[in-house]
A and B are shown apart, each in its own frame.
Chain A
Amino acid sequence: MDTILFFIFAIIAVVCGLNLVLQKHPISSALSLIGVMGSLAVLYLMLGAEFLAAAQVIVYAGAIMVLFVFVIMLLNAGSEKPGGKSWFAQIAGIPLLLAFIAVMGFVIETFLPALRSVRFGSFAGGTAREIGRVLFTEYLLPFEVTSVLILIAILGAVVLARKEID
């Protein structure tokens, strides 16, 4: 059951990812990115990372995607124009891609037997409670540093966008 679900969502993620690259219009690309984010969230959930899955949906599929769509609107980006590919990319692109996949497949095949396979449901440390415990005891310093990082992000957003305003 878990394996079947894994393959379903893995395939959705890959197909959406391909669609993201192949679509001509940026809005369509952004929408397929939501598909990627959503199926990734399910994969996280299957591995036991419940909180991460929720955060993935809320922050990435929600907030970040809104931002992406805003930027696309802001730039008023139309469809991508075809062309501009070099002769090298046109000729060698697909063979190189196949070669890359073959090499990666070979590497994974060769080394995979040495690995322990993933068992779904064996990890139970991904709940919000558990993350709360770890975050506020073991990783106390990174937690506080993160707030500084967020403050810098606020500064950056304002400093860089302020140009247009005044």
Chain B
Amino acid sequence: MPVFTGSDMLTLLPAIVMCLFACGTLVLDVMGRRIPRGRRWLMLFGLCGLAITGVSLWRQWSALAAGGLSQYTGAQGAVTLDGLGFFSNALVLGATVLLFLTSYRFLEITREHSGEYYSLALFAQAGMYFMATASELITLFLGLELTSISFYILVGFTRVDRRSNEAALKYLLLGAVSSGFILYGFSLLYGIAGSTELADISSAVSGRGASDPFVVVAVVTIVAGLLFKISAVPFHMWAPDAYDGAPTPVTGHLSVASKVASFAVILRLLPMTLGSVRSLWEPLLIVAAVASMTVGSIAALTQHRLKRLFAYSSIAHAGYILLGIIAGTQMGLRGVYVYLIVYALMNLGAFTVLTALHRHGIAGEDLHDLRGLSTTRPVHAALFVVLLLSLAGMPPTAGFLAKYYIFTALIETRHYALAVIAAAYVVVSLYFYFRLVREMYMRPAETREPLAASLGIRLSLYATAALTLFIGVFPEPVLRLGFRISGVGQ
């Protein structure tokens, strides 16, 4: 009988830490009702957990580096530590830290502050840990479900807001269908290989080839389910509603962390496991990428609700990231990693600004809520412009660099048509991001109510905007770190 060894412990350490701290938050919440300012302690306790998670991730990485290994599989083959997992986990960890920092004031204002919020965020993060590292289907699926279910609840967390409830319901129903699709595909893969290990599945599928009907159905259903998770067209219908209804910090987290982890799953399943049947899934991804860029960029033109606008913009960004996977070369893969880093930074920054717009008595979710921001809060407005430029892919910001990598990879692999289409939508996106700038700089303010600024909000805004600019101007250090963690070479 296999026993649980110390090295198994090491492969699971971050997940264990997250789950323990999530449980701790719950217990602290109900036991510490009478502690003055107890809710601040809850947040600090959660941040403490994140710090320890970071340390344990670093320990894993250094243990691997000390052994000279590029990957290590533990826990009866259920979890594999490799560059992809470390990269995704590091990014998700950063996103969760920003979530905690920006949520405090928001939850105070909406009077929804309780321990479940932090606990669910930590559980979601544990789920994303398994999404990024699982090398076995059951663990992978459980990771997906841990993440999705936590997010369904977080989306519906604002109980007074009907829109939040509606969003949670829509997200839950559509998400359950997509999980069903993925599970159906997984069960077919298990039927093909007789094993749930991704390595066995990879060899069994390559033995059968791309013309086998079971392989076709399995690939199509899995791709459909995964495209839903990254909100790519035609499985994007949930995104605008869920993004609009969710509490703003949760929207930011949903659009960044869950998307990063889902891209980790896509990278692990499609190119790494099902690479031998590339001819099956590549056309699907091409269609989804083009459709995502089209629908995302064009639908965003007419939105007047800020979070819906960013929902469509993130749909378009998912399309760009898919292009890197379609290119499939070393350059394309690096493009995906760079894009994910940059996307995480700029989107989290943008949602931090949206969170700050939410004040007592002001929902701050409409385009006109940005009016006059340049006079009332010039620093915020300027940083927001930096982030928007980056989202549009303009130099000298990081967004340009991300798009540069993707376009280079496309041209290297002779996907000229895709490159032209993608470039055309960059121009379109410039217009709708500029609409936000126009509201901030060319319209007078409607209210003198100051923005909801807390130390956490300011910190995360400054950090994301500064990093966006820094990567754009001096890309070397951050990119080298990213490539080193993800193991895709210099």
Contacts and interface: CB of A to CB of B under 8 A. Distances in A.
Direct chain A–B contact by Cβ atoms under 8 Å:
yes
B159 A141 contact: no
Given A141-B76, A148-B146, A162 B159 contact: yes
Given A153-B149, A160-B168, A137 B19 contact: no
A152 interface: yes
Nearest to A157: B153
Interface string B407-434: 0000000000000000000000000000
B138 A160 contact: no
Interface string A119-161: 0000000000000000001111110011011011101101110
B150 A141 contact: no
A106 to B, nearest CB: 12
B76 A138 contact: yes
Contacts of B228: none
Contacts, number: 69
B310 interface: no
A81 interface: no
Contact of B75 (A111, A140, A148, A149): A140
Contacts of B23: 151
B152 interface: yes
Nearest to A140: B76
Contacts of A85: none
Given A141-B79, A152-B149, A155-B153, A163 B159 contact: yes
A89 interface: no
Interface in B123-166: 123, 126, 130, 138-139, 142-143, 145-146, 149-150, 152-153, 156-157, 159, 165
> Which of A137, A139, A160 has the largest count of B CB atoms less than 10 A from its CB?
A160
Main secondary structure of the interface of A (DSSP, over half): helix
A98 interface: no
Contacts of A160: 153, 156, 165, 168
Interface residues of A, number: 22
Contacts of B116: 155, 158-159
A142 B152 contact: no
Contacts of A94: none
B120 interface: yes
Contact of B1 (A137, A142, A162): A137
Contacts of A162: 159
B489 interface: no
A107 interface: yes
Given A140-B76, A141-B79, A160-B168, A149 B145 contact: yes
Interface string B16-38: 00010001001000000000000
| Interface pairs A-B: 5 shortest CB-CB | A163-B159, A156-B153, A141-B78, A142-B138, A145-B142
